[in-house]
Structure 1
Amino acid sequence: MSEKSLAGAVALVTGASSGIGAATARHLAREGAAVALVARRRDRLDQVVTDIAGLGGHAVAVTADITEPERAYEAVQATLERFGRLDVLVNNAGIMLLGSALQTTVEDWDRMVSLNVAALLHVTHAAVPYLIDAASTSPRQVADLVNVGSTAGRVARPGSSGYTLTKFGLTGFTESLRQELLGEGVRVSVVEPGTVDTELVDHLGDAVRDAARRQVGGIEALRADDIAEAIGYIVTRDRRVAVNEMLVRAGEQTW
């Protein structure tokens, strides 16, 4: 028997061009999975593919704007065409745009809903039939769907109302989907990271970005690999074990 827990499995990771998504793709490849990397930045995806090849793994870059239902469907189909199945889906793509309701724009709220919610729904809807099929045909007898949420899906704070809306919604969606797929052999989980050292704050305006960095300035942030390891733990459990929710805060984080 292979020493790699995901040998023969295929994973699709969204938002895989950097940060948690890229780290998760590398981690799953180390566990033996072939990985489809989905994002919009082709050059960054190609670098992660190269990294995985250097580990002895197999990966394909799929450039797609998954906020469009057709592109999300095509991304899943590209994964199937390349690797023949889909055992693990990690919905990681997301954006955080902070600001009070008075100061922010409707466009910022729409961008977050489009990527944090609609894109997740598009990919999930396209992938679920193949995850169910994988659960019935895999030697592991299980498939996994992991949504990457946030502590903002548990604790509401001022200046993040739109972002908090998307993450509370993600948590509720995950739990409902978990119950729907219980009998199909598909485990559904949510991982809720706290403060992580990624590019997430780079999308903010200068003043808001500086304020966000000051807020966490005294905290040693989590690394993307910390969250990748959490996701890896969830999807490599024996089928009798379902880790439905995992909250991973930085050690000094209070919220």
Structure 2
Amino acid sequence: MSDNIKGKVVIITGASSGIGEATAKLLASKGAKIVLGARRTDKLETIANEIKAAGGEAIYQELDVTVPAENEAIVKLAKDTYGKLDVIFLNAGLMPSSPISALKTNEWEQMVDVNVKGVLNGVAAVMPTFAEQKSGYVIATSSVAGLKAYPGGAVYCGTKWFVRSFMEVLRMESAMEGTNIRTATIYPAAINTELLNTISDKGSSEAFQALYDQYGISADRIAAVVEFAVSLPEDTTVNEFTVGPANQPW
């Protein structure tokens, strides 16, 4: 069904590494036009150049998902460059896990800003376009932490539960309003990305590193799920994907 991907314009947030980078390269190889957004423009430039060298199409722009105007700007860039927008993959996220008693309140705020407000800002930026054209696809990275709670994950789990709930209501309301906006929420387990680098709490960091060392699988596995979602016919949505290593009991 990769014919459904060819020519589609796709914005990817958190595109400078990990799941975002892997997805950008895979969708570009299937003929999608990729709009890369993240804070590290040097990384985005390298990825865009690699995509173009392989015969694909990609542009990039600095994007801090916590700033509404920057989300609006990357939507404008996509439309100005390619004339339309089909998909936004809301993939930016932070996971500085720690016990509540450690009171890492700055990290709590960061997670809410990126993991919650970043999703809200992205949806707000694309909604006028998607509603007007009566089509569009919102894909978001939640986490298995959005399906179950665990010690050390109080705030992170909370942000990912929010994504789960918000995306489900977006799906329902879009169906009711007849805007044909589809949603897909992805719940990855141990996927090898830079996510662990955001953990400052020593105990949490060591525990997660051991977990990922034992079970972690490639970000390409999530990219393949996004590819599948985007390839589906317009009248079909698979709105939730729980994905992880086959040998991880999580």
TM-score range, shorter chain: over 0.9
2:89 partner SS: strand
Which residue in the other structure is 1:239 paired with?
Answer: 234
- In 2, distance between residues paired with 1:6 and 1:215? 35
- In 2, distance between residues paired with 1:48 and 1:229? 18
Which residue in the other structure is 2:188 paired with?
Answer: 193
| Cα deviation digits, residues 173-193 of structure 1 (max 9, x gap) | 000000111221211110111
Which residue in the other structure is 1:253 paired with?
Answer: 248
Higher relative contact order (Cα pairs below 8 Å, separated by 6+ residues): 2
1:36 partner SS: strand
Runs of 4+ with >4 A deviation = none
- In 2, distance between residues paired with 1:18 and 1:223? 12
Of 147, 150, 153, 2:146 maps to 153
Identity of aligned residues (%): 32
Question: 1:133/1:25 Cα in 2 relative to 1: closer, same or farther (>3 Å)?
Answer: farther
| Cα deviation digits, residues 62-83 of structure 1 (max 9, x gap) | 1021201111111211221111
> Counterparts in 2 of 1:1-255, with a 5 A limit?
4-134=3-133, 136=134, 142-182=135-175, 183-205=178-200, 207=202, 208-219=204-215, 221-255=216-250
| Cα deviation digits, residues 213-248 of structure 1 (max 9, x gap) | 1234332x1211100000110111112321110100
Query: TM-score normalized by structure 1?
Result: 0.92
- In 1, distance between residues paired with 2:229 and 2:91? 15
CA contact (8 A) 1:98 1:104 kept: no
- The amino acid that maps onto 1:233 is F
2:206 partner SS: helix
- In 2, distance between residues paired with 1:15 and 1:41? 9
Point out where structure 1 has 5 or more consecutive residues left out of the alignment. 137-141
- In 1, distance between residues paired with 2:199 and 2:21? 21
- In 1, distance between residues paired with 2:120 and 2:98? 25
- More deviation in 10-19 or 99-108? 99-108
- In 2, distance between residues paired with 1:133 and 1:124? 14
Superposition RMSD in Å: 1.6
| Cα deviation digits, residues 146-187 of structure 1 (max 9, x gap) | 011100000100011010000000000000000111221211
